Structure 1
Amino acid sequence: MILWFTIAQVVVAVAAGVFCLIAGLIGRRPSDFSVGALALVELLLIVQVMVAIVAPLAGNPPTGDLLEYWVYLVSAALLPVGAVLWALMERSRWSTVILGVAAFAIAIMLWRMQVIWSVQIA
C-alpha cells in the first residue's frame, strides 16, 4: 500500500463519518451530500483495490498475511454499499448516523490494512 494514499483515505473517511454523524444527530435524513460522502469513500476503496493488485507486481509486496488483507479490503468495499442501501430503504435520521458509523469503521479498517501490508513480518 501507499502510505500517503492510505492517510488520504482515512482522512476522507473520518471527514465523511463526522459529517454524517453530525447531520444524523441534528435530525437530517439521508441526502445527496451524506450519500455522496460515502460514494467518495467507495470510489477511493475501488482505487485501493487497483493499487493492491498492481503494487506486488511493481515490487511492493505485503509483509503480512495477504488473505487477511484482502478480506479487510473486500469487506471495507462492501460496507458503504450496504450502508447506502440501508439509508435509501429507511430514510430516517438514524440512517444518516449509520452512514457515519460505516465511514468510521472503514477508516479503522484502512489503517489496519496499512499495518497488515507494511508492518507485520510474515
Structure 2
Amino acid sequence: MILWFTYVEVGVAVLAGVLCLVLGLAGRRPSDLTVGSLALLELLLIAQVVIAIIAPFVGNPPTGSLLEFWVYLVSAVLLPPLAVGWALLERSRWSTVIMGVVGLSIAVMVWRMHVIWTVQLA
C-alpha cells in the first residue's frame, strides 16, 4: 500500500463518518452531501483495489497475510454501497447515522490493511 494514499483514505473516511454521524444525530435524513461523501470513499476504495493488484508487480509486495488483507479490502468495498442502499430505502435520521458508522469503520479497516501490508512478521 502507499502511505500517502492510506492517509487520504483514512482522512476521507473519518470526515465522511463524522459528517454523517453529526447530521444524523441532528435529525437530518440522507442527502446528496452524506451519500456523496460515501460515494467518494467508495471511489478511493476502488482505487485501492487497483493499487493492491498492481503493487506486488512493481516491487511493493505485502509482508503480512494476503488473505487477511483481501478480506478486509473486499469487505470495505462492499460496505458503502450497502449503507447507501439502506439509506435510500429507509430515509430516516438513523440511516444517516449508520452511514457515519460505516465511514468510521472503513477508516479503521483501511489502517488495518496498511498494517497488514507493511509490518514485518517476526
Residues 8-23 of structure 1: matches in 2 within 5 Å? 8-23=8-23
C-alpha displacement of 1:120:
3.6
C-alpha displacement of 1:113:
0.1
In the alignment, which residue of structure 2 is the partner of 1:107?
107
CA distance in 1, matches of 2:62, 2:13: 23
C-alpha displacement of 1:46:
0.2
Residues 64-103 of structure 1: matches in 2 within 5 Å? 64-103=64-103
Q: What is the total number of aligned residue pairs between the two structures?
A: 122
Aligned-pair identity (%): 70
In the alignment, which residue of structure 1 is the partner of 2:33?
33
In the alignment, which residue of structure 2 is the partner of 1:58?
58
In the alignment, which residue of structure 2 is the partner of 1:48?
48
CA distance in 2, matches of 1:9, 1:114: 11
In the alignment, which residue of structure 1 is the partner of 2:119?
119
**Runs of 4+ off more than 3 Å:** none
One-letter code aligned to 2:117: W
One-letter code aligned to 1:68: E
**What's the TM-score, normalizing by structure 1?**
0.98
1:43-92 Cα shifts (integer Å, max 9, x gaps): 00000000000000000000000010000000000000110011000000
C-alpha displacement of 1:121:
1.7
CA distance in 2, matches of 1:119, 1:87: 36
RMSD: 0.8
SS at match of 1:64: coil
CA distance in 1, matches of 2:113, 2:18: 21
Q: Which runs of 5+ in 1 are unaligned?
A: none
**What's the TM-score, normalizing by structure 2?**
0.98
